[in-house]
Amino acid sequence: MSDAVRIAVLASGGGSNFQALVDRFRRSPEREVVGVIASREGAGVLERARRAGVASAVSPPASTSGGAATFLRRTLDEWRSDIVVLAGYMKLVPEALVRAYWGRILNIHPALLPEFGGRGMYGARVHRAVIEAGVRITGATVHFVDEAYDRGPILCQWPVPVLADDTPESVAARVLTVEHRILPAAVEALASGAVRLEADRRVRWVREWFETETFTNREG
Ligand code: GAR
């Protein structure tokens, strides 16, 4: 049997999306969540990693000699990462890393890109902007990472309604439930070769996955 596809995660926060990946792949011999790099000490994701028995590291601030870019590259390479997943990662990915892992880095964003994304648009700020704009539909997006925040080619999206009495917190909770479904599904699609990023930056689904159960609106 061939080696497992090795999945590394970058995160800054509580790590519920990291947890969704761990839960999804825990029993799969063909996929392995090999480690998580947190962008700061004390991030909740580090405790989740400890409990799950997954390796973890904390990236040094950009000002450190050698810098975060070298650290990220070295750590991801050491873990022999095949796929890198930004799961609530609030920093810009260094260009060299984007190039080294081109077509193999995914990000999840809690809105329907290209709206409500970009620098400074993370967490509650996204949902506040959604409510202020008065849109009736928001959602979650998984996209390939390029050199800019939240801009790379979109792999999949799922809509979520915005209700009249919603707060940023209630929208966040509704969107997060969807994130936990589509992120593992998108990672599995990339790992299995069902989707890939082509040279012209188009996202090509090579099988019928997109229309199958993976992205349909049912539980489980
Ligand atoms: C998630 O909602 C994720 O989409 C968002 O941060 C949250 C992290 O939650 N990411 C961004 O806003 C990136 N622009 P988690 O730590 O519980 O997975």
Question: Domain containing 88 — which CATH number?
Answer: 3.40.50.170
Distances in whole angstroms, Cα of residue 124 to Cα of each of 111, 120, 131, 168: 11, 11, 11, 6
Residue span of the structural domain in which 153 resides: 5-212
Query: Domain for residue 217, yes or no?
Result: no
Query: Domain for residue 14, yes or no?
Result: yes
Query: Domain for residue 218, yes or no?
Result: no
Q: How far is the CA of 77 from the centre of ligand 1 (A)?
A: 24
Q: Is the CB of 179 under 6 A from ligand 1?
A: yes
Encode pLDDT of 75-129 as tens digits: 999 999 999 999 999 999 999 999 999 999 999 999 999 999 999 999 999 999 9
User: Which residue has the least CA distance to atom 11 on ligand 1?
Assistant: 122
Query: Domain for residue 220, yes or no?
Result: no
**Count of domains observed in the chain:** 1
Closest ligand 1 atom number to CA of residue 121: 14
The packing angle between helices 16-25 and 168-192, to 10°, is 40
Distance spanning both ends of the chain, measured CA to CA:
28
Encode pLDDT of 146-201 as tens digits: 999 999 999 999 999 999 999 999 999 999 999 999 999 999 999 999 999 999 99
Query: Domain for residue 85, yes or no?
Result: yes
Query: Domain for residue 129, yes or no?
Result: yes
Whether the pLDDT of residue 61 is over 80: the answer is no
User: Which residue has the least CA distance to atom 7 on ligand 1?
Assistant: 88
Task: Tally Cβ neighbours within 10 Å of residue 214.
Answer: 17
| pTM of the predicted model as reported, rounded to 2 decimal places | 0.94
Query: Domain for residue 19, yes or no?
Result: yes
Q: Is the CB of 15 under 6 A from ligand 1?
A: yes
Residue 168 preceded by cis peptide, ω within 30: no
Closest ligand 1 atom number to CA of residue 179: 4
Whether 127 is a known active-site residue: answer no
Q: Any bridge partners for residue 17, and if so which?
A: none
